[in-house]
Chains A and B, each alone.
Chain A
Amino acid sequence: MSALQVQAEAPLAAGRARGRQARRWYRQPALMAGIVILVVVVGMALAAPLLTSYNPIAQNLNASLLGPGAHHLLGTDQLGRDTFTRLLYGLRLDLRIAFIAVLFPFVLGVVLGSLAGYFGGWVDVIIMRLVDIVVAFPFYVLVIALVFVLGPGERSIYIAITAVSWVAYARIIRGEILVAKRQDYVTAARAGGLSSLRIMGRHLLPNVITQAFIYAMSDIIQDILAIVTLGYLGLGIPPPTADLGSMINDGQNFLSTHWQLTTTPGLVVVFVGLGLSLVGDGLADLLRPGQ
């Protein structure tokens, strides 16, 4: 596969410039739709205090379980808290945690993956064995077990997700580096006496990091789902802080009478996932060298 790619590289280089022109990012309806969704969602999360005058955790037992109406756009929950307000603040919290949580495994996986791919030998063997071991555990089982052991809270979520998610980045980057390091520019850089660190950081990484970025888009979705699931199980952010998962959990007792309490937080998650999927697919089409 690598030989084929290298051969194809030269004639493609000229064609790629033209290809890029035709595939400008704003001409891709799917990518644009994804960006619009993300801008709207992130914008609403950031502007939460401006969009609603209610407090997400203040209880008002005189106004519990109201239906949707003029005062409460989506009604209230069993403690009289405005559902729309809690949705906005829950989204704000979950998005923030997910975007931070994706950074650590990204960095760890890219570093370990590059070391394994570039140096090969026993470094590669050790790192890839470690990957095999982590992969042996189902994602949710290990995340739930780690959060249980470390105790609930934001810090535990970061640690658990990092410990489990870095493997995918390591595998992707290792594979890309294995191909890229045989190319002429690396041989040239090495012949020029550049240090391994410099070759990896300045020459190889910029060429291989794209795939990790594309994967990160779907990884954020997975992190959001993990955070929401932990919240649902009562292992996430402790109450009364608004979190989409714990909102679904609170609402499930009222599923037959107040279905909007469970469905709306889930819909928000699906909407965010749709936006990220569209952006991820669009980026993949845009950045992947000609098929």
Chain B
Amino acid sequence: MGRAGFVVQRLLLLVPVAVGVTIIVFFMVHLIPGDPAATILGIHATPQAIALLHQQWGLNRPLPSQYWLFLDRLLHGNLGQSLYYGTSVSSLILSHLPPTLWLLGYAIVLTVLISVPLAVLAASRRDGIRDHMVRAVPLVGLGMPQFWLGFLLIYGFAISLRIFPVSGYGSGFTGHLRSMFLPGLTVALALTPVVIRSLRASMLNVLTAEYIVTARSKGVSPQRLFLRHVLRNAVIPAVTVLAVNIGFLVGATVIIEQIFAVPGIGQLMINSIFQRDFPVVQGVTLVFGVMVVLVNLLADLAYAALDPRVRFDR
């Protein structure tokens, strides 16, 4: 099977997953205890308002017909109306998307900048003192609540040292770069333990390869050996690990945005939960699901493009 076939196959595999994602998001309404419309409206539940929601969501129809209605609207880009803001959910999500994408991109860059040097340091002498120190990072890092780490960074860099703003998105490119540094760093620090671990393991693995021995005996300097031979080959598994953890990365932004008051879709979701704005929560959940599916697809394709050894016939 060729490259085109591989792409088509990946796209076809997406179909059942995408349908499943919409089914789960659709069913969220029916997990609400009691009459969903009455529960969501809470104190605003007049008989008219309840009847209106019933009519809007088609709650009186049989389930398959309800799902069909939901899917039909979805395909027309209609995610429903926000109960709190009164505007359409899709426009709300679109306007909140850029800060989230900024945060994600920033976090990935910072993750790479932190974990690659540390992993090189650890792998350069196995079981040396530096290796042990770097290996302790995941032990402490994995059990650290991200939002708590965010507080520590706010306290240290924003309140005590006043280097970075406490919260917000900033304006303009440099403004974003400054304001989003701490949130990006928080997400990156949560992700680095996993990446360091896998990068170190794959570098140690590469170090035993015969071409490394050859390069060494040829008299290649250690720096050059690491940069040109080891790192280049070890980075592909690390990219895979990064892709596998994209769900974690995206999920982390929800909480981090809340702490740093970044106006992204994560903050939109949490605020909508406090407003009991169900359609927005439902819409954001769906967008997050779609985002992860798409990123995984991109990672798959990039992986195939990066590594000539990847075979397409699996």
For the complex, give the distance between the alpha carbons of A253 and B114 in Å: 31
Contact of A141 with B139 in the complex, beta carbons under 8 Å: no
For the complex, give the distance between the alpha carbons of A136 and B22 in Å: 11
| A234 proximity list for chain B (CB < 8 A) | 274
Q: Which of A9-17, A62-70, A145-153 forms part of the interface with chain B?
A: A145-153
Contact of A137 with B258 in the complex, beta carbons under 8 Å: no
| B252 proximity list for chain A (CB < 8 A) | 140
Contact of B255 with A277 in the complex, beta carbons under 8 Å: no
Contact of A138 with B16 in the complex, beta carbons under 8 Å: no
| B249 proximity list for chain A (CB < 8 A) | 138
For the complex, give the distance between the alpha carbons of A148 and B271 in Å: 12
| A151 proximity list for chain B (CB < 8 A) | 33
The listed residue (A138, A150, A255) touching B288 by CB distance below 8 A is A138
For the complex, give the distance between the alpha carbons of A224 and B281 in Å: 24
With both chains docked as a complex, state the minimum distance between the C-beta of A141 and any C-beta of chain B, in angstroms.
5
For the complex, give the distance between the alpha carbons of A105 and B273 in Å: 26
Q: Which of A76-84, A182-190, A199-207, A262-270 forms part of the interface with chain B?
A: A262-270
A28-59: CB near B (< 8 Å → 1, else 0) gives: 00000000000000000000000000000000
Asked, given contacts A129-B16, A133-B17, A235-B273, whether A146 binds B31 with beta carbons under 8 Å apart, the answer is yes
Q: Tell me whether A144 is interfacial, beta carbon within 8 Å.
A: yes
Of B146, B247, B282, which is in contact with the most chain A CB atoms at under 10 Å from its CB? B247
A221-252: CB near B (< 8 Å → 1, else 0) gives: 10011001100111100000000010010001
| B196 proximity list for chain A (CB < 8 A) | none
By beta carbon, the residue of chain B nearest A251 is B151
Q: Tell me whether A216 is interfacial, beta carbon within 8 Å.
A: no
Contact of B254 with A221 in the complex, beta carbons under 8 Å: no
Q: Which of B152-160, B176-184, B216-224 forms part of the interface with chain A?
A: B152-160
With both chains docked as a complex, state the minimum distance between the C-beta of B169 and any C-beta of chain A, in angstroms.
20
For the complex, give the distance between the alpha carbons of A224 and B146 in Å: 12
Contact of B247 with A145 in the complex, beta carbons under 8 Å: no
Q: Tell me whether B199 is interfacial, beta carbon within 8 Å.
A: no
Contact of B17 with A141 in the complex, beta carbons under 8 Å: no
The listed residue (A221, A229, A259, A271) touching B147 by CB distance below 8 A is A229
Task: For the complex, count residues of B whose C-beta is within 8 A of A.
Answer: 47
Contact of B248 with A136 in the complex, beta carbons under 8 Å: no
| A229 proximity list for chain B (CB < 8 A) | 145-147, 255
Q: Tell me whether A273 is interfacial, beta carbon within 8 Å.
A: yes
For the complex, give the distance between the alpha carbons of A221 and B141 in Å: 11
Q: Tell me whether B124 is interfacial, beta carbon within 8 Å.
A: no
Contact of B145 with A266 in the complex, beta carbons under 8 Å: yes
B231-268: CB near A (< 8 Å → 1, else 0) gives: 00000000000000001111110110010000000000
Contact of A277 with B139 in the complex, beta carbons under 8 Å: yes
B283-314: CB near A (< 8 Å → 1, else 0) gives: 01100110011000000000000000000000
Contact of A130 with B269 in the complex, beta carbons under 8 Å: no
Q: Tell me whether A61 is interfacial, beta carbon within 8 Å.
A: no
Asked, given contacts A137-B21, A144-B254, whether A273 binds B142 with beta carbons under 8 Å apart, the answer is yes
| A248 proximity list for chain B (CB < 8 A) | 145, 147-148, 151
For the complex, give the distance between the alpha carbons of A238 and B117 in Å: 44
Q: Tell me whether A276 is interfacial, beta carbon within 8 Å.
A: yes
Q: Tell me whether B2 is interfacial, beta carbon within 8 Å.
A: no
Contact of B292 with A129 in the complex, beta carbons under 8 Å: no
A125-145: CB near B (< 8 Å → 1, else 0) gives: 000011011111111111011
Contact of A142 with B147 in the complex, beta carbons under 8 Å: no
Contact of A262 with B148 in the complex, beta carbons under 8 Å: yes
Asked, given contacts A235-B273, A278-B139, whether A148 binds B281 with beta carbons under 8 Å apart, the answer is yes
Q: Tell me whether B86 is interfacial, beta carbon within 8 Å.
A: no
For the complex, give the distance between the alpha carbons of A132 and B292 in Å: 11
For the complex, give the distance between the alpha carbons of A288 and B293 in Å: 33
Asked, given contacts A133-B20, A133-B24, whether A141 binds B288 with beta carbons under 8 Å apart, the answer is yes
| A228 proximity list for chain B (CB < 8 A) | 145
With both chains docked as a complex, state the minimum distance between the C-beta of B11 and any C-beta of chain A, in angstroms.
14
Q: Tell me whether A218 is interfacial, beta carbon within 8 Å.
A: yes
| B293 proximity list for chain A (CB < 8 A) | 136
Q: Tell me whether B144 is interfacial, beta carbon within 8 Å.
A: yes
For the complex, give the distance between the alpha carbons of A142 and B24 in Å: 10
Contact of B140 with A270 in the complex, beta carbons under 8 Å: yes
By beta carbon, the residue of chain B nearest A266 is B148
Contact of B281 with A145 in the complex, beta carbons under 8 Å: yes
For the complex, give the distance between the alpha carbons of A235 and B147 in Å: 15
Q: A145-B269, A232-B255 are in contact. List 18 more A-B contacts (CB 8 A).
A: A136-B21, A139-B248, A141-B251, A141-B284, A141-B288, A221-B143, A233-B258, A248-B148, A255-B159, A256-B159, A262-B151, A266-B144, A266-B145, A266-B151, A269-B145, A270-B140, A270-B144, A277-B139
Q: Which 8 A/B pairs are nearest by Cβ-Cβ distance?
A: A273-B143, A138-B251, A133-B20, A266-B148, A140-B251, A138-B250, A138-B247, A141-B288
Interface residues, chain A, CB within 8 Å of chain B?
129-130, 132-142, 144-146, 148-151, 218, 221, 224-225, 228-229, 232-235, 245, 248, 252, 255-256, 259, 262-263, 265-266, 269-274, 276-278, 281
7 A/B residue pairs, CB under 8 Å, sorted by A: A138-B292, A140-B254, A150-B32, A228-B145, A248-B151, A256-B159, A266-B148
Interface residues, chain B, CB within 8 Å of chain A?
16-17, 20-21, 23-24, 28, 31-33, 138-140, 142-149, 151-152, 154-155, 159, 247-252, 254-255, 258, 269-270, 273-274, 281-282, 284-285, 288-289, 292-293
